[in-house]
Structure formats: structure tokens, C-alpha cells
Amino acid sequence: MFRPLAALLVALAMGPTAVHAADVQSDEIVVKGKTDTKKNAIESKRVKSSDTATMLEDTAGVNVQTGGGVSNLPVINGLADDRLLIYVDNMIVCSACGNHMNPPLSYMPSSSVGNIYVNTGVSPVSEGGDSIGGMIQVESQPPLYAVDDKIRTEGVVSSYYRSNNHATGASFGGTVASRNLSLGVTAAIDHADDYRDGNGNKITSTYYESRNFGLTLGARSENHQVTLKAGHQYIPGQGFVNQWMDMLKNNSSFVNLGYTGSFDWGKIDTTGYWQNTWHKMDSGDDKLPIALAPPVSMPYMPMITRGVSVGYTLKTEINLSDDDILRVGNEFHRFSLNDYWPPVAGSMSMSPDTFLNINHGRRDRYAFFAEWEGSVSSTMTATLGLRNEQVRMNTGDVQGYSGAAMYSTPAAAFNAEDHAKSDSNWDFTALLKYEPDAASTYELGYSRKTRSPNLYERYAWCTTWMTSGMIGWFGDGNGYVGNLNLRPEIAHTISLSGSWRDADRNAWQLKITPYFTHVHDYIDVKKIGEKTFPAPGNEVRNILQFTNINAELYGINVSGSVALWDSEGFGNGRLNGTLGYVHGIDLANGDSLYHMMPFNARVSLEQKLSGFTNTVEAQLVSRKSETDPLRFEPGTPGYVLFNIGSSYEYKNLRVDVGVTNLFDKFYYLPLGGINYDDFLATKKTTAFEPLAGQGRSFNIALTQKF
């Protein structure tokens, strides 16, 4: 049955992109749950956080921009969110929210993560397009099969508790499988209250609850496999401390069908998917009681979005020779979005009509690529690839809450313009890998990568303070307006990487990767208005419109490890470390780009003895002084945090315990934005302040397999 199916898929699809990249790029990190060491790395992270993006923080070059408790935004080498290529179980998922409260990684609960693949360097065109930064691929557990003719049954139950925000959660996974058929189910629930900082102050609007259910069906023969994944997520509430609004509901469902096949001539990897999201924002539990108090009014203001992603990818690998591979593929993705704000009864400014923010918005991508990978010599391999993406966008006419001039004037101007936009984007990648001996590897990469604006960057139309303040995923308290004349971002990146290790690849290793990126038509902002808050100190926020500038980013990432001891009495000891630095500037005025992470490093000492794994970790972040003045980005002092953890495995039982922020250090998050909640009246009524990080937390998790 598989050969006819493969032929049908090829005939229908003419080629999508598989996301497993060539093994030629140095700055890629693969964390899989198949080996004991890497499986332990994933499970030890789950006890610290329910957010999948946060699980990537110990990768050199990767940081996290604060969003909600399960909706943080990953940052790679200073480029974040839509500028990154992110796959969730081989699906491209767009944020269906003007505040990006439901980013792609929020749809994968940390308990379901099976494999994580991160490429922080120059990525091949076969990995994907419509991005100018790195690539993240997160996969749930793949289908499991029996190794003989007996039926295989297994499962896992896990639970955890974190003291700081009283976070609790539980998850379940079960599989029933034969040699060729597999059925798996997963379920997870995560809940947390507001956390407290190092001074014991409650940081409001940091609560969350998330419920997830997944189903996996698999069928395979000797060289072929079909996998069907489906799932549903319900988030009944999630606070956003650095935003005007909170998430009141997020309902999402998806279906994902994939096929992989091996033939004498090569391989096929294809996926088709559909994902639907219904999302509601409003003032949440912490903001709502202070609705009418100065200096900021936070009235009832429902905002609803409906987003649908549908697409397919197909990648074929053709063996030209023993040393040469040709990859060709095709990808299609459509994202449709309706963003509307129902009228508020009794309100003079938010009635009587429904505010149409994005009206039948649509963003279609059609992509084709070709890529060659082969040996140049016995010690050198190369990859060359070319990709074209046609990005077509459109949206309908809009309207405000009423015919008042503050709505009718910008609406009329927007409706008079042609909304249809079409971009033809070309990507090119060249990678060279040189391995002179078993102890060293050198890699040089260049890429030209392109990203078209998202729907909000082009089509958010209203210029009033209240409406523009509802747009923006930056956590800075400013308002944002779209720009129909935006051009795609074009990034030229050069990355050089050197890796050194002992011949046995066990005693020590070191990797150093400097990089440089020039971005033509980087999408930044310009000021078109402002809002002054009379109390407590005439605080000002800007109304900003997206615009194109030229920008540069450069920096360095370093990672390494060294074995310290190996003895019967003390087990194995290893020192691991990463550090990263990025600098991003607007070439026109020399100002810093927004949310550039200051110099940061992590150092951990790990001991393994019998069934125990013990870790002491130090996280060091320098003072943040390079800030974006146009967005009133605050600076933050430097800090050092210490975490300790221990895990013990006995047969099928695993226990994880740990303490994060061991000394209850008070600190501000460099990528946290502002604490908007604290600015609201009846609280501290202070000026806008940076967002403080979480204080000490005692954590425990139990996992039982059966």
C-alpha cells in the first residue's frame, strides 16, 4: 500500500520542504529523547518551566523575550519571533493575535516535547524560508513500535510543583503498538498563579493555565512510514504583565499528516497540515478591578481573533552519487486571519459598531527550492542552495467603532488604498565544512535570506492611542500602526565557526562562532504621535508606525565542556558553559535595535553517580545599557543567579528536585519589557519600570513509567 501512496503524494505535491537539515551546519543543536543523556536534558528542564521556548535558553545564542507564562518568544542572535523559522511538528503556525500571545511554541506543551532541533547559524534553504534568523524545530514524541510480534504497551505519568508561583501540572502519555501500527495519546494540564520577585513582591498578570490533548497514529513498512497527529489546546486564562491586554481564552485544534519513504534513488519527506485558533483578549483578573482608576483606564474591551493555517511541505533527496545529494522541494502555506473587536454597550468611544482590525486578512506563501550537498575533497563538504518564495497578501476594508473622525479618517484612508501585495523573495545559502582531522572542524557560511511583513505590520490601520496600543508584541507600552508600503527584509549573514575536541570526543570540546548580519529594509518603527500620562510623572509613550531601515547585527557565541573527574567514589564530573554577545544598530542614527540581549553566560557543574545526576548552575548577565530610545526601552543592571538541581532514577521512577534563583536575587529581565501592571493605579502608581524576574522557587517533579 505504501508504494502507491508515495506515488500519489509525489503527483499531487510537486515538492514541500522537510525540516531536517543537512548535517553540515556547525551551529545546530539537536536534543532528542532517544538517548539517556539527551532524554535527561529535556526532562530536567521540564521541572523548571512549563514554557517550551524557555527550554532553549541554555543554547548559546538563544534567549527568551518575555510574554506569557507559556507564551514566551524565542530570540536567536538578536532576531526574534517572526524573524525566526519555527516548526511545530513540521507545521508552520502563525500568531493569531495582535500581541502575539499565541506564538508557535506555545502550542507544544513542554511535557510533550520529544525532539528539539535548533540552528543558530546559517541554515540551508531546504530548512525553509520567509525568515532572516535561525531555525527552531520542536517535535512531539514520534510513534513507537514493537520490536517483535508481541503487542507493545507503555505509558508515563508525570506531575510537578513549583513553590514561587504555586505552579502545578500533570501529564500522561500512553502507547499501544504492534510491529507496524502504533496508537499514542497524550494529555497535559499546567496551572500557575502570579509569581513573586526576589523582594517578595507579587508580579501580577503572570498567571496561566493551559490544557493540551494529543493523538498520534502511525503505520510503517520496511522503508515507509505514515504518521497522523491531531490535537487540541484550551487556555482559559493567561496574564501578560507587559501588555495592555491579557489572554482570556485560546482554543486551537490541528491535524497533521506526514509521510516519509526511502527508495533506491533517495528519500521523500512530506507533510500536510491544518491548524485553527479562536482567541480572545481583554483585561484579565489582575487588571479588571482597576478599570476606572487613573492614570490609565482599563475598561472592558473584548478583542477576538480567528486564525487558520493550512499548508503542505514536500522535500525529496536524490542520490546523485555516493557523495552527492540533490534536494528539491516545494512548500505552500496560507494564513487567514479575522481580528475584530465587539462593541462595548454604554461606551461612547467603543460602540455601536464592531471594530474591524484585520478583515479577512490572508497571507499565502508559494516556495520552491533546489539544494546540492556534496564532497569537495576528502576533508571538505559543501552545500549550495537557491530558494524562491512568492508571498501574496490581501485584506478587506475596515471600520471603526463608530463614524467619529478618529476612526472614519484613518479607515477611509486605508480603504482607499490597494491592499493586495505581492513579494518575490530569493534566498541563497552557501556552506563550507572543513575537517582536517578528528579533533577539529571549521565551517564558513553565507546566506541571503528574506522575510515579508506579517499581516499586522502591513495592515494594522488605526492611529488613535487606544487602538494602536492594542497592537504590538514588544512589551514596551507603546502603540503600533501598520504600513501598506513596507518592503520585505533582506538579510546577508556571514558566520564562521571553529570546533575543537579531544580525539575520543569525550574529555573536552569547544566551539566558537562569530557572525555578522546586514539587514536591508529591516522592519523597525518611526514616531507618528505620542500619549502623555499625567500621573505620577508625566510619563510618555509613543505611537509608532512600522517602517523600513537598514540595520546591522554582529556578535559571538561560545560553548564548551570539559570532563573534570571519573572515579568510583565521586562518579563522573563535567563542567559545561555557554556565552553569547550580540550588538544591533540602526545604521541611520546609530541607535540600538530593540531587545538586544547584553553579554550573558551560563556555567554548570554536573555530577553523575549511580542513579543520581546533580547540577550547580550559575547564570551571569551584564548590565544592559544599549537600549532603543524611540521605544523608551529601559536599561537593566547586571546580575548573577544560581540554580541547583538533582535527579534520581530507579527502575521506572524518576524524581527531580531543584531550586531556581537559590539566593532569592532581585533582578530585572533584560528582554522583559516594562511592568505595565505596576503602572496602573491602585498599585504602585510609579513610573514605567523594567519587569522584575522570578525569585527563589523550590521545585519537584515525579515521573513514573509503566
| CA 563 remoteness from chain centre | 32
Q: pLDDT tens-digit profile of 110-135?
A: 999 999 999 999 999 999 999 999 99
Question: Residue 149 to residues 145, 152, 224, 227, 424: CA-CA distances in angstroms?
Answer: 10, 9, 19, 20, 52
Contact between 519 and 551 (Cβ < 8 Å): yes
**For the whole model, what pTM was predicted?**
0.92
The CATH code of domain 139-705 reads 2.40.170.20
Residue 663: how many other CB atoms lie within 10 Å: 11
DSSP 91: B
At a CB cut-off of 8 Å and minimum separation 6, what does 258 contact? 90, 226, 227, 228, 229, 269, 270, 271, 272
Q: What ranges do the domains of the chain cover?
A: 139-705
Grid coordinates standing for 311? Answer: 499548508
Q: pLDDT tens-digit profile of 137-159?
A: 999 999 999 998 899 999 999 99
* Alpha carbons 392 and 141: distance in angstroms, whole number: 34
pLDDT beneath 70: ranges in the chain: 1-41, 288-299, 535-537, 680-686
DSSP 105: G
Q: Can you give 602-620 as a three-state secondary structure string?
A: EEEEEEEECCEEEEEEEEE
What b/e string do you get for 479-506 counting C-beta neighbours within 10 Å, with b at 16 or more? bbbbbbebebbbbbbebbbebebeeeee
Residue listed under C-alpha cell 532524554: 39
Nearest to 274 by CA among 23, 89, 446: 89
Contact between 496 and 514 (Cβ < 8 Å): yes
* Alpha carbons 507 and 438: distance in angstroms, whole number: 14
Model pLDDT, residue 29: 54
At a CB cut-off of 8 Å and minimum separation 6, what does 604 contact? 575, 576, 577, 615, 616, 617, 618
> Which residues of 141-292 form beta strands (DSSP E)?
152-162, 167-177, 181-192, 195-196, 202-203, 208-220, 224-238, 246-262, 266-282
Which residues are registered as beta bridge partners of 121? Answer: none
* Alpha carbons 437 and 379: distance in angstroms, whole number: 8
* Alpha carbons 84 and 491: distance in angstroms, whole number: 12
Contact between 222 and 237 (Cβ < 8 Å): no
